[in-house]
Amino acid sequence: MSAATEAVAAKPPANGRRRRLRWPHYLLIASGLLVLLSLVRVIDDADSVTSSGTVSAALRLAVPIFLAGLGGLWSERSGVINIGLEGMMILGTWTGAWAGYQWGPWIGVAAGILGGALGGLLHAIATVSFGVDHIVSGVAINILGLGLTQFLAGLIFDTGEAKALGGGPRQSPTVDPIMTLTMPVLSGGKIGGWHSPDWLGSLEGHHWFLVSDLAGILRGLTSGMSLLTLLALLLVPLSFLILWRTPFGLRIRSCGEDPYAAESLGVKVYRMKYAAVIISGGFSGLAGAFLVTVAAPLYQDGQTNGRGFIGLAAMIFGNWRPGGLTAGSLLFGYTDAMNVRGGGEAVHALLLFVAILLIGAAIWQAMRAGKLRPHAITDAARREVRTAYIGSALALVAAAGLLVWFMLSDIVPGQLVSFTPHLTTLLVLALASQRLRMPAANGLKYRRGEAR
């Protein structure tokens, strides 16, 4: 392993005063959020907030967002901005459905990966080889993916055997579903000829504080899970291990931090960037294939519905790391599931949940400002203290508004419920912007031998 890549791996965070959170901290935070969510459910009598159906829907809705975001993570860790995730995802939906209805869902998954990878290859040729602006190339990929699939759908799905099987100019024939798994004993699975009792379903039905919530979450995760969903979940540790624990991953990340330093130590920068962007397209194509084999049994025009862009937002929220990306994807998937299954009553309970979180954030910001104030000697330090106090005040005002809304209403209007996932995207990005650090050379043009 080269000295440059080791330096990239060991590079400290920009703000040395911030303590890095470990897995015990994350587990403690998750436990606290679960207790708070259970309390809100009991207060507002909104059982769908943590029901197994909501959890299952949230996971199903989160997976394509996560896969698209994972594609963005691979690309941007190599220094190539990829806003063409949506277009690559669209290519994955069409190619996945085209192959899936003819040769089975797993062939469709492979074809979807290939379709997305071809989009990634085109993006790599434009940005890495020809130096096209990354944003312009990404927009072009999105336009190309949408237009090409609409043309091909009318050309292939609206004629011959495909039309006889239910295809049309805006949709494909039906694709066979991928097998699902249900864990026996816990969620009423089948062992041989014996059907085990649904213990988790029984506990969930009692609506007890915390216990029923845990049972609902576990039942949602252990019943009716698609094999492709399980594969997607395994990509979280796999991506982390490859990018942070292998020489190949360190070379990719070194290209995203300082490609000229990597070049001086023998790293094939063009090769690494090409590999990362093609892998990025493959993940986006897999997200599209998921939509046509698990989320719905066919290709439909407009099926991605902006999930590629939400995946990009989840990647930014996760600070370009697989764990944070997973948390962001689950957050967006959960709010979308509230829209699909819970409706206005469930979102109404979330008003109280968010208000309490905002009060906690206000207290934390005020405590942080109090600790920084005695040491605020420079103008920059004083600005940081002032910003913390302003953030605390704004959080309190927002919390007060949500509490008033919660107490004066019984349900959230349907128009606002449908806007919840998009509002969550905006709020998360706004709140997370202060702690983000993208790869240093992300989006910069690289030319071999032209070190600055």
Task: Report the distance separating Cα 74 and Cα 89, nearest Å.
Answer: 15
pLDDT digits (tens, 9 = 90+) for 13-28: 444 455 666 777 778 8
Query: Which pLDDT score, from 0 to 100, does residue 387 have?
Result: 83
List the alpha helices (DSSP H) in 206-258: 211-222, 227-245, 247-257
Burial 44-77 (b: 16+ CB within 10 A, else e): bebbbbbbbbbbbbbbbbbbbbbbbbbbbbbbbb
Task: Report the distance separating Cα 384 and Cα 366, nearest Å.
Answer: 12
Residue 184 confidence (pLDDT) above 70 = no
pLDDT digits (tens, 9 = 90+) for 65-82: 999 999 999 999 999 999
Q: Tokens standing for 143?
A: 């336009």
- Residue for token digits 């507002």? 44
Residue 7 confidence (pLDDT) above 50 = no
pLDDT digits (tens, 9 = 90+) for 236-289: 999 999 999 999 999 999 999 999 999 999 999 999 999 999 999 999 999 999
Query: Which pLDDT score, from 0 to 100, does residue 201 have?
Result: 79
For the chain, the domains span 38-182+224-435
Which residues sit opposite 195 in a β-bridge? 190
- Burial class of residue 307 (count of CB atoms within 10 Å of its CB; 0-12, 13-18, 19+): buried
173: nearest Cα among 248, 246, 94: 94
Name the maximum alpha-carbon separation found in the chain: 77
* Domain 38-182+224-435, CATH class in plain words: mainly alpha
Query: Which pLDDT score, from 0 to 100, does residue 162 have?
Result: 87
Residue 27: how many other CB atoms lie within 10 Å: 10
Query: Which pLDDT score, from 0 to 100, does residue 83 have?
Result: 94
Q: What are phi and psi of 183, to 5 degrees?
A: -75, 120
Region 424-440 average pLDDT? 70
Query: Which pLDDT score, from 0 to 100, does residue 88 have?
Result: 97
Task: Report the distance separating Cα 287 and Cα 67, nearest Å.
Answer: 5
328: nearest Cα among 221, 243, 429: 429
Distances 393 to 369, 374, 397, 422 between C-alpha atoms, Å: 12, 20, 6, 24
Task: Report the distance separating Cα 112 and Cα 304, nearest Å.
Answer: 13
What DSSP string describes 119-153?
A: HHHHHHIIIIIS---HHHHHHHHHHHHHHHHHHHI
- Burial class of residue 213 (count of CB atoms within 10 Å of its CB; 0-12, 13-18, 19+): buried
**pTM score of the predicted model:** 0.87
pLDDT digits (tens, 9 = 90+) for 343-364: 667 778 888 888 898 898 889 8
